[in-house]
């Protein structure tokens, strides 16, 4: 019986019931914890937590490289103060010694503290930091929520599904059974932007989305294969691909969310199934396995 893989689901904010704290990712945590090996044993042990008091380094993140954590799924929902230098340094050491790293944020400058996390952090483009090198993308895409500036790609309503475009060759993260591919993920009205950093090795865009406002394509995910003993990494355009509200709007959202939601994920069983499979693929792949 293999030992379970230890996954840490972590936000970059203190607990707050009216924000995107870790309680908003309970369906993800529950699904990962439900996955079993062939012998019926749990494949993953899942720890889900928010950061400690922001005035000091986080007690878990700042010692991550000395822990038994195998994968860090970091949901950057802060406004710039989510990571201390000690946190970022420990995450870098964790990744360098082989830990799997998934990092995601959202529109504009939300989650910009992750820009300090090596190549996986630099894969994220923000409004004020590490801006997209393509000046033509320095423009508003979502035109419904006027107080949110670029990057803010409109892939659909919260609770709806979007069709994604796979970049050839199909990456193991996007393989489906039997012999198919994942082509649907949850939508969001204002996704962030990701791309391959100039100095990155063994990294590529694996999927793109299409704006429902402008018809423009945008990158959904960048995968880092890992080299020299470093773990694999994934930069994801928005944490809303994983949030309860985007899987099932009935779970609710923070009071500051003003856009109307949809029920596409609930009325499209294939979209919901593919989203769960994508989550399974991420956990497998970050752990060194691949679906074939």
- Tell me what pLDDT residue 289 has: 67
Q: For residue range 196-209, list pLDDT tens digits in order.
A: 999 888 999 999 99
Q: For residue range 26-37, list pLDDT tens digits in order.
A: 999 999 999 999
Which structural domains are found in the chain, ordered by start?
Answer: 5-286 (3.40.50)
CA–CA gap between residue 196 and residue 182 (Å, rounded):
21
Q: For residue range 113-136, list pLDDT tens digits in order.
A: 999 999 999 999 999 999 999 999
Tally Cβ neighbours within 10 Å of residue 165. Answer: 11
CA–CA gap between residue 53 and residue 222 (Å, rounded):
31
Contact assessment for residue 223 and residue 170, using Cβ atoms and an 8 Å cutoff: no
Contact assessment for residue 51 and residue 62, using Cβ atoms and an 8 Å cutoff: no
Q: Hey, what are 154's tokens?
A: 């409109």
């Amino acid at each position: 019986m293999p030992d379970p893989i230890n996954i840490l689901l972590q936000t970059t904010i203190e607990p707050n019931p009216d924000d995107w704290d870790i309680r908003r990712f309970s369906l993800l945590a529950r699904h990962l914890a439900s996955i079993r090996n062939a012998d019926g044993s749990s494949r993953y042990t899942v720890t889900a937590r928010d950061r400690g008091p922001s005035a000091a380094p986080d007690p878990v993140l700042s010692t991550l490289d000395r822990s038994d954590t195998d994968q860090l799924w970091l949901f950057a929902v802060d406004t710039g103060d989510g990571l201390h230098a000690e946190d970022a340094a420990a995450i870098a050491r964790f990744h360098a010694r082989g830990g799997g790293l998934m990092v995601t944020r959202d529109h504009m400058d939300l989650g910009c503290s992750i820009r300090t996390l090596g190549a996986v952090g630099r894969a994220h483009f923000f409004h004020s930091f590490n801006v997209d090198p393509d000046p033509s993308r320095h423009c508003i895409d979502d035109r419904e929520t006027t107080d949110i500036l670029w990057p803010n790609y409109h892939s659909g309503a919260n609770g709806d599904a979007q069709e994604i475009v796979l970049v050839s060759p199909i990456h193991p993260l996007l393989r489906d059974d039997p012999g198919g591919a994942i082509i649907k993920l949850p939508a969001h009205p204002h996704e962030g932007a990701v791309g391959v950093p100039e100095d990155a090795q063994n990294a590529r865009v694996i999927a793109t989305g299409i704006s429902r406002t402008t018809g423009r394509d945008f990158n959904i995910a960048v995968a880092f294969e890992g080299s020299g003993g470093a773990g694999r990494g994934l930069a994801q355009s928005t944490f809303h691909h994983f949030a309860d509200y985007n899987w099932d709007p009935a779970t609710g959202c923070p009071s500051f969310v003003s856009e109307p939601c949809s029920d596409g994920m609930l009325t499209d069983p294939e979209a919901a199934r593919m989203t769960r499979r994508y989550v399974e693929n991420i956990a497998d792949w970050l752990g060194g396995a691949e679906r074939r």
